Amino acid sequence: MKDAILKEAGADTTIDALKKLLKGKADAYEIFFTHDRGFSVEAKEGTVDALKVRSNTGVGLRTILNKKQGFAFSSVLTDDALSDLVSKALSGSLEATEDKFLSFPEPVRAGVDEEILELFEPSFGKIPEEDKIKAALSIEKSAMAFDSRVKRVRKASFAESFHSGRIVNSNGVDATHAATYYSGSVTAVAEADGESQMGWEIGMGHGKGAIDPDKIGRGAAGNAVRLLGAQKIKTVKCPAIIENTVACELLEALAGSLLGDNVHKGKSMLIGKVGQRIASPSLNIWDDGVLKGGWATSAFDGEGVAKGRTQLLSEGVCQGYLYDSYWAVREGVQSTGNAARSNYKSFPTVGISNLYIEAGSKSFDELLKDMEKGIFVTEVLGVHTINTVSGDFSLGAAGFWVEGGKIAYPIRGMAVSGNLLGLFSQVESCGADIRFIGSIGAPSLLINEIEASGS
């Protein structure tokens, strides 16, 4: 089915036509064809608030001529449009700056067979529209039914999409990728005694079974209700547990520092850190492009290089960075298969695949007992303000006060500040409760000491 959809979209005929048009005109070329289709629906007050159906097909072309790169793209795939596409790309090659590091990858090794990576839902396109709408409505209904203090919800949504692509270059690379994506999410608003709190939940996966409307709705409502009655605390230095979803946000803030191009450009907090301990020995970080069922999993990256599994931190020691083909050549290393490319309109850039902190062996309850007394952080505000070069941060936070190894009461109005690498250096242990939000994954983290400014 996957190959049939791609062929029906015109991949084979478009690529064959471009090959003929390019013959003898460029030193090297790369053709990137993509086809996407999707459906999304939002529910509000028991009815459909928004519904979108989309389909997008196109081709991007990169050429190298005399060490100069040209690029052009088109969503029109007629003979005349493709001829014009080639002319524009070649013209770009003539006008660009010469770059001795320009090249396209060779077909060095085969990628993992995508059939074993659990990326495709066979029923895609066969689910009645009414059932998709019902999923969004059910998410909203479950959230509202959880507790009488839940007064309304925002953006109860369900979405499904299909993405496929084929990359062909003049060196012999010919790689195809296809995957389906499902998601459902909602934000619930709980109110009591003049106070209002919000809670959010999401379900994501490559199969429709990843979406449990009741679990998503109840999860969002529970996250909102649990914070009602939150108290302010005085400034305190104490141990803390960072909830897995918050740990994902913090890891995402570190992600840019792991990219080879950012290191070269001086936009990383990890410059010159290879071989050095930059975090707690309890911390192991991986980028796994072939993680079974991973949101960003595929056999090949955005240039057709086989993806793999790269350890970035081993017991807190920096092992290296992530690279696409260009930056690997420029830095004299091997590509890690991390060329990221969203669609045919974009150049490949260095990006993460499935980036995660390795889970530990302790349950969340065991982390609570180990901490005994301190803060359980469930929400931070302003993660986007973390300085991506120095790692310094000051974030608003909310969560719970823990006494005797048990959650005592909700707290709010805190500000936590420090340094991201410093925080990761304070990790005492990692929980077993790893969770992925999209392509970022983390377990809950027990921190030796954190400073929270209160009232």
Domains of the chain: 2-220 (3.30.2290.10), 228-250+359-453 (no CATH), 272-357 (no CATH)
What stretch of H or E contains 61?
strand 47-65
Residues 6 or more apart whose Cβ sits within 8 Å of residue 348:
301, 302, 303, 324, 325, 326, 339, 340, 341
| Strand extents, DSSP E, 221-373 | 231-232, 236-242, 285-288, 309-314, 317-318, 339-340, 349-350, 355-357
219: number of Cβ within 10 Å: 23
Per-residue pLDDT of the chain (455 residues; tens, 9 = 90+): 667 777 777 899 999 999 999 999 999 999 999 999 999 999 999 999 999 999 999 999 999 999 999 999 999 999 999 999 999 999 998 889 999 999 999 997 666 888 899 999 998 988 899 999 999 999 999 999 999 999 999 999 999 999 999 999 999 999 999 999 999 999 999 999 999 999 999 999 999 999 999 999 999 999 999 999 999 999 999 999 999 999 999 999 999 999 999 999 999 999 999 999 999 999 999 999 999 999 999 999 999 999 999 999 999 999 999 999 999 999 999 999 999 998 899 999 999 999 999 999 999 999 999 999 999 999 999 999 999 999 999 999 999 999 999 999 999 999 999 999 999 999 999 999 999 999 999 999 999 999 998 76
| Cα 42 to Cα 137: distance, rounded to the nearest angstrom | 8
Residue 365: which region, alpha, beta or left (left: phi > 0; alpha: psi -120 to 50)?
alpha
Measured distance CA(189)–CA(291) in Å, rounded: 35
On whether the CB atoms of residues 343 and 365 are closer than 8 A, the answer is no
Distance CA 159, CA 362 (A): 34
Q: Which of 323, 309, 290, 273 is nearest to 425 (CA)?
A: 273
Region of 213 (left: φ > 0; alpha: ψ -120 to 50; beta: rest) is alpha
Largest CA distance in the chain: 75
User: What DSSP string runs through 186-224?
Assistant: EEEEEEETTEEEEEEEEEEESSGGG--HHHHHHHHHHHH
Q: What does pTM read for this prediction?
A: 0.96
DSSP annotation of 426 reads: T
Q: How far is 188 from 294, CA to CA, in rounded Å?
A: 27
Residue 16: which residues within 8 A CB-CB, separation 6 or more?
none
CA pair distance 341, 318, nearest whole angstrom:
26
